Structure 1
Amino acid sequence: MPPPVMATIHHLAASLEYQTVVDIPFLIESQQALALNLSSSNSTKYLHKTDKNWHDIQRQVVKDKKNTTQASSKFLLSNQKKGASLTAYSPISKAIHIQPLDQSLPGSSKQLLTSKIAEPTTTLITQATSSAVVKVPGQQPYQKSNKQSVEFQVIAQVANSQITNLSETLTNEIPAVSKLSDVQSTDWKLQALQLLMERYGVTVLCDNDIFQGNRSVTRFEFAICLNGLLNYIQAQINTDQMKVIDQEDTIVLQRLQQEFTNELAVLQGHIDLLEARTAALETQQFATTTKLTGEVKFNLIDGWGGRVTGKGDSNPVLTYLTKLQFNTSFSGKDLLFIELAAGNAVNRNFADSDSFGTKMALWSEAGNTNNQTFLTVLQYRFTAFNDRITFKITPVGHRTYIVLNSNSSTEGLALSQFGEFSPVFRIGLEELNTGLGIDWSITDQTQLQFVYSAKNANDPNSGLFNSDSYAIGTQLLVRPTENFTTGIAYIHAQSEDGSLNTLAGSLNADTSGGFKERAQIQAINGTLQWRLLPNVTLGAWGGYIRTKSRESDAEANSTTYAVSLLVRDLFGREGDTLGVIFGQPLKLINGKLIQREDVSTSLHYELFYDFRVNNNISITPGFFVITNPEHNSGNNTIIIGGIRTRFRF
C-alpha cells in the first residue's frame, strides 16, 4: 500500500482504541457495479491485544460472474462513538473514500472522513449499525451496545479506462501527514502529552508556551516534545533508574507514536544528519581560533597588629591585578595559552618589613609590576592517546601547581595566599619558571601527574636539565566516588642555597634554617576533598618537607596543614560561597646545624563570603588572623581584612 494512503488510514483510526484490519478479496467488474456484504462471524481477529472480546468477520461475496477481476484489498474497520466506518483500498483502482454512517464525529475528523480524495470515478460507501466503547485520554468512555453483528454494504463502480489517471490523481492530491491540521489546545493528544511530561518531570524539554493558552501546536512542535519524552524514558530504563512504566502510560505513548510516526521519522532523520555532519567536522581540520579571556581584581585592604617583626604601621590600600589571556587552538585538541598581567601591590600588601614583616600576611595574588604589562605565562598543551594524556610545555610562568592539581576547594576563593592550597606545591615559586608536565587519566577515577621545573632554562650554560635549581614531582589522584577525591604527591628538588621559597610560612622555615648551602629537598603532601552534602565541602591538606645540605650535615624539617569548610548557595542564592579555613603555615620543627627552630606555633584563621553578583562579577569580603606571627609568641597577632571585587570576561 502506498505510504500516503496508509498514512491517511492510520490518521483516521488513530483516535480510536479498537481497530481491525480485514484482508478480503475485492472483486471489480469492468463498467459494472459490485455489491459486497459483510456480517459478523468468526474469521479475523482484532489487532489490539488488550481487548478480551475478539471479533471475527465472515466473508461473503455477492458478485456478477461475468468479466470479474479479483485482487487483494485492505479494509480497516474502525469503531466509532455511535457507529462504524469501513475504509477500503483497491490496488487496482488505487482509489479510497470513506463515508461513516455516524456523523457525530469531531469537526476536523468528520471533514477528513467525508472529503473526496480522488475523482469520483470510484466511490466506496460504508454503512454500519453498531457501537463500541472507545477510551480516549482526556475524554469519557463511549457506550458499547450489546449487538454482536456488524453489516456493511459497499458499492463500487470502476471504469478501466481511467485507472491510470486515477492513480496519478490520488498520489498527487493526498496530503502528507506533516501537512495535516495542527494539534488544538483541546485535543486529547496535547492534554495527554502534557500530563505525561509533568508526570515524568520533563516539561523543560518543550517551549514554555506550548501548554499555555489556547494556541494550537504544529505537528512538528508536538513531535519534538514527544521525542524528548521518549528519549528520557528510554534513558531512565537503560540506566535502571526506572524499572517499569505504567500500562496506561504505555498505551498512550504507543498511540501517540503511531499518530506521529512520520514526524518522528523526519525528526530522527534531521538528528542523524546533524550527527553525521558533526562527526565529519571532527575528522576535518579544526579552524584556528583565538579566544580572549580576562580577569581584573580590585583589592581594598587594611591590617592591624604586629609590632615586633615589622614596624606594624599600615593604612588602607586599594590595589589591582589585571590578567589578559589569549587561548588559541590549532586542532581542537590543543591550546596555546598566553597571559599578560599588570598590578600595583606595593610591599606585598603589608608582608614586607615596612609593614608586618612576615610572608604569613600575604594577600592572595599580590602582584606588583609597577603598572607595566609583562608576559607572565606562555604555555602550549596538547592531548594524545585517545585524549587520555595531556602534555604541557611552559617556557614562561611555569608553576608546580599548574601541573599537579592542588585538590583544594579554596583555590581561587581564599583571601590569603596560605589559604589557597598547600605550600608544598609552591616550592621554588620565585625561581623555577620553566617546565614540562604530563597529566595521565589512567581511568575515569584515577589520575597520575608528572612535573619538571627548572631555573634559567634559557641559559645555554645550564640549560633545561642541568640547572642548579630544579624540581621533579608526581601526584596520584583517586576519585572513588563523585563526592570524594584524595591525592598523594611527592616532590624532589634541588636548591642553590637550601631555600624553599614557598612564601607561605615563616622566614626560618622558608630558608631551611638559614644554612645557605646547596641542598636537596624531599617533600610529601596529602590532600582530600569530601562533599559531605550537595552544597557542603570539607577540604584538608598536610605536608612534610625535609631539606638536606649536599655540603654538610645540615638539615631542616618543616610541616604544614590546614582544614577548610565551604558552604555554597547560602540563603537561596545560587553561586554564593561561605568559606572557613584553619591551619598552620609552614613551620620548621627541627633540624641540624641550623640557626634556630620555630619555637612557637602560628595558627591561621580565615573567614570569607563570596557574593556572586552574576557570572562575571563577584564581591568577596573577609579577613584572616595570624597568631604568633613567624611562629614566635613574642609577636602580636596580625589581622588582615578587606574586600576583593573580581571581574571576569
Structure 2
Amino acid sequence: MKLFQQLLVAPAALGLLAPVAASAAELNINGVSDYAASGEQVTSISQFSDVYPTDWAYQALSNLIERYGCVAGYPNGTYRGQRAMTRFEAAALLNACLDRVTEVTDELKRLMAEFEKELAILKGRVDGLEARVGELEATQFSTTTKLKGQTTFVTGAVNAGGDDASKYIRSFDVNGNTVKVQRKNRNTKFSKSGLNGGANAYNRNYGAWAFNYDQRLAFNTSFTGKDKLYARLRAGNFVGENAFNGQGVNLTKLDIAENTSAATNNSVVLDRLYYKFPVGKEFTVIAGALARNTESLALWPSVYNKGGAKILDWTALMGTSGVYNKETGQLIGAYWKQKVKKGSNALSVSVNYVADDGDGNETDPTTGGFMTDNSQASFLAQLGYGGPQWGLAFAYRYGQCDSGNGYRRGTEFAKASNWNNQCWYTDANGDTVRTGSSANSYALNAYWQPKNAGWIPSVSLGWGINNTTSDNKLGGSAITTQSWMAGLKWDDVFLKGNDLGFAFGQPTFSTNNDSCDSTKYYSNSTRCSSTPFDGNYAFELYYNFQVTDNIAITPAVFYLSRPMGQNTRNLVENGQGYDGQFNIFGGLIQTTFKF
C-alpha cells in the first residue's frame, strides 16, 4: 500500500479497530451480513442515533464520514460503537475507504497531468531560488550588514558678470578718508574679502569647465532589527580652486561637494560613524564619533529635495543654514516621536549636541575637548509636527565660537563677519585671549504637498534669524543676519518619476551692523559702514530625469545676484563711494548612480 493511502487509512484503523482476538468461534455471521447488507453510506455523523460528541472517537469518526464518506451504519440507523468488530467487518470498512482513496488519487493524477507544464515551471523556479539563496549565503560578507553605494558625477562651470574692479585700488587713513586711488594690474587675483579683481578676475580663477565626482559607500548594520550602526566611506575630488566647493564665493558650493580637504583628494576617508537605537516605542538615542546634527532629527521639515535632487548646499539646508548648519563631529542626541497611525501627523522633539571634529576628540581643555568651553560645539533643538502631506518645525541652535562656519552659507560680508564668533583673538599686547563669543540662531520651516502629482507643486518655506555676541567686535561688521527661501517642486513632470524644482530666496545676509567709530576700520581697507547694504538674491532650477530606478541625470542652473553682499560696495573713484556690480551664473549636469 502506498504511503499516501496508509496515511488516509490510519484514522480508520486507530478509531475503529478494537483489540479483539476474533477466532472462528467468535465470528458473528449474522452481524456481518447485517453490516454488509445495509449498503447505506451516511453523509453526516448526526445520522447515527447512538454516537455522541462526548464519545472518545467522535472526531475520528466524523472525519471519516465527512471527508471520505466510507463509513456505513446498520439498517436501524445505529453505529454500535461499543460492539466488538470482526475481521470481516474490518475488511468491509477498509475496502470502502480504499475505494474512496483510489478515487481521490485518480483525481489528483488527472489534475497533475492537466497542469504538468505549470508544475514543471514552478519546480524549476523553486530550484533556481534555492540555488541563488545558497550562493548568497555562501558569498555574503555579513549576516547583519547591508551595503549601499552612491556615485555622483558633476560637470559644469560658473561665470561672473558685472564690473571689472581690477582697475582700482583703495587705501584709507584711520578716519576713512581716501589717500590713494590708482589702477591695478589686470592679472590681480580675485579676493573674496572684497571685489578685488572683479568679474574678470573671478572668471580667470574659477571660470573653467570642470568634471568632479563623489563616491559614497554606506554600511548599515543592525543587531536587533530596530537599531542601526552606520559607517560611511567617502572619496571625491572637489578640492583646490573649485567654485563648486565654495571657493571664491561660498554660495556656489554644491551639496554633494563635501570632501573638501586637499589631503583627502581622491582618497577614501571615513566621514560618518554613529549608533542609533530605540528606547521604548517612541524614543531614539544617537551617539557617534563622526555624526551630523541635521541627520539626527525626527523630522526634516521640507519636501523640496525629497525624491528629487540636491544642487546648491544653501537650498539643501532649506534656506536656514544658521540653524541647520551641518555641524559634524562627536555627537550625542535623542529624539521623541509620537506613535500614531501610519499616514497621520506626529509631534516630535529632537535635541543633539555636536563638538566640532578636530576639537571634540582632543584631551586639552584649553584648545578643545568634548563639552568644554573650547569645543566649538553646536546645540540644536527642534520641535516639529508633520506627516506625509504637511508639516512645520521651529528650531534653535546655540553656536559656541563657530570660527566662521556657524552660519555656513551667506553673503561674503556676512560670512566674513562670523569672525566675531571665533574662540580666540590676539589683543594689543600680542596675547591670545578667549572671546567668550556665541551665536543664537532661530528657524521656522514648513512644507505642504498635494496628494496627487499635477500642476500644483509642493511648497517648502524657511526663514531664519541669527545673532552673534562677542567681546571683540569690529566696527561695521554684521551682528544680526537673516535668511529665507521658498522651494517649489513638481512631481512626475513629462514622465512619471521625473521632478522639476525651483527655489529662490536670500541666503544669510546682514540686517544689523555694529556701530562705526574713528578707531575701527577693516583690515582690508574697506570703508566701515554701520548701515546694512548686504542684499543678495539666489535662484536655482533643476530637472531630475530618472533614467532607471538606479540612475538619475539632473541638469541644473543657478544665479546669485550679489553674492559679495556689502563687500560689493568697495569701489572708490575720486573719493566717492561707488556701488559695484557682481553676479554669478552657474550651470551643471549631475548624474547619480545608486546601488
- The TM-score with structure 2 as length reference comes to 0.62
- Conserved in 2, the CA contact under 8 Å of 1:94 and 1:166? no
Please tell me whether residue 378 in structure 1 is matched to residue 253 in structure 2. no
Could you tell me which of 498, 503, 506 is aligned with 1:576? Answer: 498
- Structure 2 match to 1:530: 448
Matched, 1:492 2:393: no
TM alignment of 1:30-429, pairs within 5 A:
31=33, 162-171=88-97, 174-175=100-101, 181=107, 289-307=144-162, 309=195, 311-313=201-203, 314-347=207-240, 349-350=242-243, 357-366=248-257, 367-368=259-260, 369-386=264-281, 388-396=282-290, 398-404=291-297, 405-411=299-305, 413-422=309-318, 424-425=320-321
1:557 to 467, 470, 480: 480
Deviation at 1:166, TM superposition (A): 2.9
Report the CA distance between 1:560 and its aligned residue. 0.8
2:310 is paired with a residue whose SS is coil
- CA-CA distance at 1:394 after TM superposition: 2.0
Confirm or deny: 8 A CA contact 1:93 1:163 kept in the other structure: no
**Quick one: distance in 2 between partners of 1:531 and 1:183?**
58
- Secondary structure of 2:202 counterpart: coil
> What per-residue deviation string (whole Å, max 9, x for no partner) do you get for residues 209-254 of structure 1?
xxxxx969999xxxxxxxxxxxxxxxxxxxxxxxxxxxxxxxxxxx
Q: Distance in 1 between matches of 2:104 and 2:249?
A: 76
The 1:390–1:122 alpha-carbon spacing in structure 2 relative to 1, beyond 3 Å, is closer
Q: 1:502 is matched by which residue type in structure 2?
A: Y
Question: Number of aligned pairs?
Answer: 428
Aligned to 2:267, the other structure's residue is in SS state coil
Deviation (angstroms), 1:422: 3.3
* Distance in 2 (alpha carbons) for counterparts of 1:471 and 1:176: 80
Distance (whole Å) between structure 2 residues aligned to residue 533 and residue 298 of structure 1:
33
| Gaps in structure 2 of 5+ consecutive residues | 1-6, 10-29, 41-46, 53-59, 76-84, 120-141, 164-194, 341-345, 423-434, 517-527, 569-578
Give distance in 2, aligned partners of 1:179 and 1:364: 68
Q: Cα distance, 1:467 vs. partner?
A: 3.9
Cα offset, 1:570, TM superposition: 2.1
Is 1:506 paired with 2:411? yes
1:541 aligns with 2:462: yes
Corresponding residue for 1:645? 591
Distance change (3 Å), C-alpha of 1:325 and 1:351: closer
Q: Which amino acid aligns with 1:333?
A: K
Change (3 A) 1:183 1:567: farther
CA 1:364–1:184: 2 relative to 1, 3 Å: farther
Quote the RMSD (CA, aligned, Å): 4.4
SS of equivalent residue, structure 2 residue 243? coil
- Give CA-to-partner distance per residue, 1:236-273, whole Å, 9 cap, x none: xxxxxxxxxxxxxxxxxxxxxxxxxxxxxxxxxxxxxx
Please, which of 342, 351, 355 is the counterpart of residue 454 of structure 1? 355
Cα deviation digits, residues 133-170 of structure 1 (max 9, x gap)? xxxxxxxxxxxxxxxxxxxxxxxxxx976222333444
Contact 2:161/2:583 (8 A) holds in 1? yes
Secondary structure of 1:331 counterpart: coil
What's the CA shift string for 1:157-214, capped at 9, x where partnerless? xx976222333444555349996847999xxxxxxxxxxxxxxxxxxxxxxxxxxxx9
Give the number of the structure with larger relative contact order, counting CA–CA contacts within 8 Å between residues 6 or more apart.
Answer: 2
Structure 1 position 471 matched with structure 2 position 378: yes
Alpha-carbon distance in 1 for matches of 2:500, 2:559: 17
Contact 2:227–2:276, Cα closer than 8 Å, also in 1:
yes
Q: Which residue of 2 aligns with 1:566?
A: 489
Instruction: Look up the equivalent residue of 1:292 and give its one-letter code.
Output: L
Paired letter, 1:613: V
CA distance 1:341–1:426, shift in 2 (3 Å): farther
Cα displacement (A) at 1:648: 1.1
Question: Match of 1:637, SS?
Answer: strand
TM-score, normalising length: structure 1: 0.57
Which structure 1 segments of 5+ residues have no match?
6-27, 38-58, 60-68, 74-90, 98-111, 125-158, 186-213, 220-286
How far apart in 2 are the matches of 1:306 and 1:359?
Answer: 17
